[in-house]
A and B are shown apart, each in its own frame.
Chain A
Amino acid sequence: MKLSKLLFIAILFIAATVRFYLLDTTPYGLYIDEVSIGYNAQSILASGKDEHGESFPVFFRAFGEYKLPVYIYLTAGAIELFGKNELAIRFPSAFFGTATVAVLYFFVISLFRFIHAKAKNNTIPSQQVALLAAFLLAVSPWHIHFSRGGFEANVALFFYLLGFTLALAFWHKHNIKLLFIACSSFLFAFYTYNTYRFIVPVSILFFLTTVFFKLPKFRKYTIAALSAVIIFSIPMVTFSLSQGGAARFAETSAFTEYKTDTAIDKAFLYPAVFVKDYLSYFSSDFLFSYGDRNGRHQLPGMGLFYRWELFFILIGFFVLLKQKNKTGVCLLIGLLVLAPIIPAIARPSPHSLRALLMVIPLTIILAIGIIASFHKVTRFRIPLVLLFVLVFGYELTLYGHQYLAHYNNVNALDWGSGYKEMAAKAQKYQASYDYIVIEKKLSDAQIYANFYTPSLKATYASDDWKMPESWKGKKVLLIRPYYGNRHEKLSIDQVYLPGPNQDIFAQFWKL
């Protein structure tokens, strides 16, 4: 077997290991969207209906918005395989995250047919860049993080990249099947994550228009593909124009943060808001220091890339800008420019999940930067390579340590920790009590209880709740957040958060 094949298999093995290792327990707990996905997937599997009783819906209503279907149906399959648990909900993301690493390899090989990147006088071999890019994505903090949670964006990224790769492959091989599979893959991305509602149409139009004008003998196939795409897009277009489809946009629009009275105010302010938010996606603070500061989106105090990578990304840009053949460079830079456009009109900005597509062009540019530097350095090559391996190794192991030893302790609440244990304990007490009341301040308790303990019968009450007269003399269990040690005598049990501080998530009061 050739060395490159062995390396490719080894990279896939690494990618799978870091994505699947302790997937069910780290991050600790399922966050609210994961539970919602799991609940709907379970419901589809059991009855063919979603939580609102609609049969095999294309759009799933959840928490005042609509979820796209692909991830939910994939999760239904995973629940069939692994049962109703954390692993099943995260499996599609981890699986397609690993597959993205493989697809990236082929994407780079196809892309390099346009680039012919050169460093000094040596042509950079596309296979070296492809292997290195795949490896860097396999260990990328940004990509690992979203592969280890039930994030639709990660699966959408796979379909989008696959579509792009197949489109490039069609360009080189002129195989009609590739044209149609590429369009199908783009459509899957379209129906997986909201950001792709813009990126996919732009990409498909760009691709098919280019084929139409540059490869005239495929015109009839291009028209057929475009027609198919339009037909399959109709449900999404109708949905996007509907009240439900627009709801999400209204809810997350970046512009609602700014008060404007007149149309002139809007015309003046909105473009500036867009520029501000768009720029934030290219900020060093976001990419290398803190990420988007949402505890669910990266490790605390760590960026989306390792810090040492900044230097090589800059070199990569430098090498790319010097290329005489601009087609491949434009495709790569175009992808980077396109990726944050939709995220920049939503709030908050920057948002590492919505802009996940950026990881692909940046990782390729990083790989080009490293390979070009390696080719450029002729003196002290061995000590420099050793230093590089040492720094990379240290940051990599530090990331692993932070992820496995700290993350569950520090960011437990971001991942809905405590709710599962709370629901399980409530169910355990159910037989001994007449009524179980859960305070609404444990805001997501109901959806977690529905998912983990469907047989639990509880009343969800606001914090000014008073016990009804008719309950007098009955045994009532009140579950509420921890407010301190007042009424300690009432407390019969508590749920602790993981970590050395022994923080209490919820208290069980016997009324």
Chain B
Amino acid sequence: MMYLKVLIAVIALIEVYAIQAWLSCKHFADMLYFSSFDLKLKVEEQVHNDIGYAPELARFFHNKVFMGYTELLKKYLFFWESNFQALFFSIIGSFGILCGLWYLIHSKQRRLYKLGIIVALGLLPFIEIFSLSLPYLVRIVLLWFPYAAFSIYGLWQFLSHNRRYGWLVVSVLSVISIWYLWAFQGDIFVIFCYNK
């Protein structure tokens, strides 16, 4: 058990290292933020291309309700973009989140408890998407800490269930994570952030 604890401690350190990305990113790229003005412009642009079609048809396909839903979904999915995750939670951290989900769903906890955790974790990105006016540090803690903790839970479960090769998978992913963070933290960072 001792080596598992050491491995988890190393992973925790990697995830703490990844917090650098959060600290140096005060404002994410516009792709992540929802704006009703932007939505209005997009609807108008789409309707403009429907010249020659019945207005009802244009409105059926291009309206604020449906486009609002798709735009919101796009912003939400951006939070789960693989390179965003690799940079802001580290590769091993993202793997841990997936493992956490897997083992939570398979755990013997009450269904309501499991659902509560999944919904809470699922809704957190909306703090950023809707630019809720929270202090900067509170925002970071709300967005980073629950996922980091959940990721540690997932990796612990993974290692406990896969005694033979689990440590190897986790070690390899940890090395790749550190490699990735060193190589790209200053580089592809600009895709996701406006102010380093």
Q: Name A's B-contacting residues (CB within 8 A).
A: 268-269, 271-273, 275-276, 279-280, 282-285, 288-290, 301, 307, 310, 318, 321, 394, 397-398, 401-402, 405-406, 409-410, 499-500
* Interface membership of B165, Cβ < 8 A: no
- Is there contact, CB below 8 Å, between A289 and B183? no
The 10 A-B residue pairs with the shortest CB-CB distance, nearest first, are A272-B183, A284-B77, A279-B82, A283-B82, A500-B51, A289-B74, A285-B81, A283-B81, A406-B49, A284-B80
Closest Cβ neighbor of B77 among chain A residues: A284
**Can you list 17 contacts pairing A with B, beta carbon distance less than 8 Å?**
A275-B179, A276-B83, A276-B184, A276-B188, A282-B82, A283-B81, A283-B83, A284-B77, A284-B78, A285-B74, A307-B73, A394-B66, A401-B61, A405-B50, A409-B49, A500-B51, A500-B52
- Is there contact, CB below 8 Å, between A289 and B78? yes
The CB with the most chain B CB atoms within 10 A, among A285, A288, A500, is that of A285
Which residues of A have CB within 8 Å of B179? 268, 271-272, 275
- Given A276-B86, A288-B77, A301-B42, 6 more A-B residue pairs with CB atoms under 8 Å apart are A271-B179, A289-B73, A321-B102, A398-B61, A405-B49, A406-B46
Task: Give the complex CA separation of A397 and B180 in angstroms.
Answer: 41
* Interface membership of B53, Cβ < 8 A: yes
The contact of A307 among B53, B70, B81, B82, by CB within 8 Å, is B70
* Interface membership of B110, Cβ < 8 A: no
- Is there contact, CB below 8 Å, between A285 and B183? no
What is the distance, in angstroms, from A160's C-beta to the closest C-beta of chain B?
Answer: 25
* Interface hits, B32-66 → A, CB 8 Å: 42, 46, 48-53, 57, 61, 66
Which residues of A have CB within 8 Å of B50? 405-406
Task: Give the complex CA separation of A279 and B81 in angstroms.
Answer: 9
- Is there contact, CB below 8 Å, between B49 and A268? no
What is the distance, in angstroms, from A289's C-beta to the closest C-beta of chain B?
Answer: 4
* Interface membership of B176, Cβ < 8 A: yes
Which residues of A have CB within 8 Å of B66? 394, 398
Q: Name B's A-contacting residues (CB within 8 A).
A: 42, 46, 48-53, 57, 61, 66, 70, 73-74, 77-78, 80-83, 86, 91, 102, 105, 176, 179-180, 182-184, 188
What is the distance, in angstroms, from A378's C-beta to the closest C-beta of chain B?
Answer: 15
What is the distance, in angstroms, from B192's C-beta to the closest C-beta of chain A?
Answer: 11
What is the distance, in angstroms, from B1's C-beta to the closest C-beta of chain A?
Answer: 26
- Is there contact, CB below 8 Å, between B61 and A285? no
- Is there contact, CB below 8 Å, between A500 and B83? no
What is the distance, in angstroms, from B127's C-beta to the closest C-beta of chain A?
Answer: 19
Task: Give the complex CA separation of A397 and B102 in angstroms.
Answer: 35
What is the distance, in angstroms, from B85's C-beta to the closest C-beta of chain A?
Answer: 8
Closest Cβ neighbor of A272 among chain B residues: B183
Which residues of A have CB within 8 Å of B83? 276, 279-280, 283
Which residues of B have CB within 8 Å of A288? 73, 77
The contact of B176 among A275, A307, A321, A398, by CB within 8 Å, is A275
What is the distance, in angstroms, from A182's C-beta to the closest C-beta of chain B?
Answer: 33
Closest Cβ neighbor of B73 among chain A residues: A307
What is the distance, in angstroms, from A309's C-beta to the closest C-beta of chain B?
Answer: 12
Closest Cβ neighbor of B76 among chain A residues: A284
Closest Cβ neighbor of B48 among chain A residues: A500
Closest Cβ neighbor of B53 among chain A residues: A405
Which residues of B have CB within 8 Å of A272? 179-180, 182-184
Which residues of A have CB within 8 Å of B74? 285, 289-290
What is the distance, in angstroms, from A367's C-beta to the closest C-beta of chain B?
Answer: 21
- Is there contact, CB below 8 Å, between B51 and A268? no
What is the distance, in angstroms, from B63's C-beta to the closest C-beta of chain A?
Answer: 11
Task: Give the complex CA separation of A321 and B77 in angstroms.
Answer: 23
Which residues of B have CB within 8 Å of A290? 74
Which residues of B have CB within 8 Å of A394? 66
**Contacts A272-B180, A275-B180 given; does A289 touch B77 at CB 8 Å:** yes
Which residues of B have CB within 8 Å of A269? 183
Which residues of A have CB within 8 Å of B183? 268-269, 272-273, 276
Which residues of B have CB within 8 Å of A409? 49
Task: Give the complex CA separation of A401 and B105 in angstroms.
Answer: 39
Which residues of B have CB within 8 Å of A398? 61, 66
Which residues of A have CB within 8 Å of B105? 318
What is the distance, in angstroms, from A219's C-beta to the closest C-beta of chain B?
Answer: 32
- Is there contact, CB below 8 Å, between B46 and A280? no
Task: Give the complex CA separation of A279 and B78 in angstroms.
Answer: 14
Task: Give the complex CA separation of A307 and B66 in angstroms.
Answer: 12
Which residues of B have CB within 8 Å of A273? 183
Task: Give the complex CA separation of A332 and B146 in angstroms.
Answer: 33
The contact of A280 among B42, B82, B180, by CB within 8 Å, is B82
What is the distance, in angstroms, from A209's C-beta to the closest C-beta of chain B?
Answer: 23
- Is there contact, CB below 8 Å, between B49 and A410? yes
What is the distance, in angstroms, from A36's C-beta to the closest C-beta of chain B?
Answer: 30
What is the distance, in angstroms, from A101's C-beta to the closest C-beta of chain B?
Answer: 26
What is the distance, in angstroms, from A358's C-beta to the closest C-beta of chain B?
Answer: 14
